[in-house]
Structure 1
């Protein structure tokens, strides 16, 4: 058994090393601009962004449909127009954007991204198209306490995960406890609920939040900044000389025509429109779409998870040592790693070979994860059936397959139904993790509504109620069938 485990782990390691090294080598060996050629061949360019960073990128409602707007989106449209291709936008968490770029999920990233030296090691950057500054948001009631970064020594402060602001806070605020939070709306919520004393944010974004929230105020950061830490540029895959040249040409045109002030003004108009009606009823379509995707992922996750779990359970109970060992290794490996890591491996890791859509990757990851837990539940149920039942079925002349099908499994299912139901209920809640790769489930829509309305708590309350309705309804349905099993 130990040899089998060792073999499985070595195989997984070899696959990972091969995938990573092979991808890197192919890029270095090929001097042609693969990304540009791919864009021109298919007729569209894919933009990766995190739409929670007004006025750079955020979402608004137009004709009852959500759309991405902001300065970066306008720049991206100009780039697509100059290339003569369509623009497709893929939304995801900020700290997943560069991974998406490296694995070919997106062709460029515009998301208020600073071209730092560390990032330049992994991706290429265009010329700088915008220069801002770094500010700190505080609650207005604390205006007399905090003046700049030096006021936050040994205080709690937050910034977006993976951002320049996070690194600045860590390096330049002595003794501060810095929290990394993914979404801008969550940063503001942490500030308003006094979880942190300040939020480090790029100046235009900080001013946008302050303009739409009377309880917070912008103060000068006072950080020591190099050129990269005040600049914003377009990120693209390594070794993209043609694409970089084309994008730089567009940036030069934007600067020559002085279009950025116009784009920022348009973004401000959208921001004001978002705050005209911030009632949750106004955003019911967002939540309805989120519920729809959550239910879809959960149903498919339950079906494929149950099939996978049943197969794994039967393999673990088989007489074949190799199959039993493989099944055991799979179950232990999946149960020993976080679902988020599995999701990112399916979406980004397998993306080196197969370009899976985010929704498909989410369903696969959730199903495979659930299958490992269902396998143990079913295996326990099968083992709980009394040996006398097997012996009686055998004495009646039933073969092994028929014994399992007609005698053991029906009794096992009756025994494990409550535990199986708990797994299905948990699946609804755990499916929320797919939002990190841009699947528009309920959690994703919650974040969008927070960003659009600048309201932190109300969207959370709505999401909690909707999750409760889904899980409670499923719980009632499972109990109904449990009573039928018991009465039968």
Structure 2
């Protein structure tokens, strides 16, 4: 009973520590007001400007294929190139989900964000913004067959509407479309897919982006939004870390040059040409290299995570079965804590939270998070397998004079492995699918590549179907391999 109480005490303490670290992370985000500019100094020292974006928002930022490789293009990308050139540094683009961009900026993963971002009052509380470089209107996308039904926002009362999560458009829809059901969706391509599959009746989107989607998809049409923008700033600016005066000065100087030389129309025209080239060949076969790369990363992440997770899981299982109360307590707390929190939260914490102290690459952070998560489940599977072995086996090995470590190594674990192999195999298969979560921090796994192909081709369902087939091939092949070895165990 005391051990159980201590276990819960440690779990609560670990939760408190986790909260404190997160709080510390958020506190560290707001660099104390100072005359120095740490971000600018870091850029000067490294000679690299790291810009965060979410390449699913044409014509601001999206991706196209050049020489068989996917590259970021669009108005924002050209602006980023101009800023880097004026600062005489190299440009590095980091892609991730829109919702993760400000966290990445606050935790130093990126130096600035260019993603068609609106400098809203809520965002200004946590980050700074440059001068406005573009102002666009707000429109609504509908299916072409419904174009005669909807005229503006007032036509969507009691209807289903979608917009990008955390965006100005989402707030406009929520506040100005009466009695409507508003859904937030992260990716622009997923918004279009929701519209095309009749999950929603309309999609609120910034006019240039809405027109880009409509011009490349005959099945959807743009209508006027009719939103009251008097109390909402629909402009676009560069997001910057707080208290970065030197960096802000350089960015605003470049934006002033862009405005003076009237480069925005040039950038938009160039983005339009990329959009046309993207839709020249939208067959899935044309994008086989993207899917192949995604499969490669998915398999690589899964293999490394399985290896590390199995080692740590075995150690945790032995610790939990140990007579040592401290070892038992630590293992129990770890397992319960990991199993009690979502993998996505753990991934975000490893990448962004620990990133304040150790600058982990996205791929490394993804592997660590998946491995640590898997270890907790593997530990319980192995513990259950060890407990299933008859006590007579232990007594027999003791009578032979085997040490405790030899008993576990030569007698208990081999028999336990035979019993737990099916459950362990299920965990490995699940891990392949769960590893898809790493796409949110920009790891180019299969799900990430699926979204790229969707953004490039403006086709929603076909890339999903290809990804489903590829995941099935991976999991089915692994299932057959595991069954083969299961048969070997049964005949051993």
TM-score, with structure 2 as normaliser: 0.97
Is residue 3 of structure 1 aligned with residue 6 of structure 2? yes
1:290 corresponds to 2:271: no
Unaligned runs of 5+ in 2: none
- Identify the residue that residue 159 of structure 1 maps to in structure 2: 163
Paired residue secondary structure (1:38): helix
Which whole-Å deviations, capped at 9, do the CAs of 1:355-392 have from their partners, x for residues lacking one? 11000000000000000000000000000000111110
Q: Which residue of 1 aligns with 2:490?
A: 486
Q: 1:240 & 1:103 partners in 2: Cα distance?
A: 14
Which residue of the other structure, out of 182, 185, 188, is the alignment partner of 1:184?
188
Report what 2:23 is aligned to.
20
Q: Does 1:114 align with 2:118?
A: yes
Aligned equivalent of 1:402, options 406, 410, 430? 406
The runs of 5 or more residues in structure 1 that have no matched partner are none
Partner of 2:450: 446
**Structure 1 runs of 4+ off > 2 angstroms?**
1-26, 226-229
CA deviation vs aligned residue, 1:330-354 (integer Å, no higher than 9, x gap) = 1111111110011001001111111
Question: Is it true that 1:329 corresponds to 2:316 in the alignment?
Answer: no
Contact 2:37–2:247 (CA under 8 A) maintained in structure 1: yes
> What do residues 269-317 of structure 1 show as CA deviations (whole Å, max 9, x unaligned)?
0000000000001000000000000000000110001011101000000
The Cα shift of 1:143 comes to: 1.1
Shift of 1:11: 4.4
Partner of 1:69: 73
Contact 1:136/1:206 (8 A) holds in 2: yes
**Contact kept in structure 2, 1:138 and 1:218, CA below 8 Å:** yes
Tell me how far apart the structure 2 counterparts of residues 228 and 124 of structure 1 sit (CA, whole Å): 18
* Partner residue in 2 for 1:201: 205
Match of 1:299 in 2: 303
Partner of 1:174: 178
The answer to whether the Cα contact below 8 Å between 1:5 and 1:325 also exists between their aligned partners in 2 is no
Matches for 1:358-437 after TM superposition, within 5 Å: 358-437=362-441
Greater shift in the superposed pair: 7-16 or 138-147: 7-16
CA-based RMSD of the aligned residues comes to 1.2
**Residues 15 and 419 (structure 1), Cα distance of their counterparts in 2 relative to 1, 3 Å cut:** closer
SS of aligned partner of 1:137? strand
Residue 140 (structure 2) pairs with residue 132 (structure 1)? no
State the partner residue of 2:252. Answer: 248
> In the alignment, what sits opposite 2:323?
319
Q: Aligned partners of 2:176 and 2:228: how far apart in 1?
A: 8
Contact 1:19 1:352 in 2 (8 A): no
Contact 2:305/2:374 (8 A) holds in 1:
yes
**Separation (CA, whole Å) in 1 of partners of 2:276 and 2:360:** 37
Whole-angstrom CA distance in 2 between matches of 1:171 and 1:382 = 58
* Residue 19 (structure 1) shift: 5.6
Question: Normalising by the residue count of structure 1, what TM-score does the alignment of the two structures yield?
Answer: 0.98
Superposition deviation, residue 52 in structure 1: 0.3
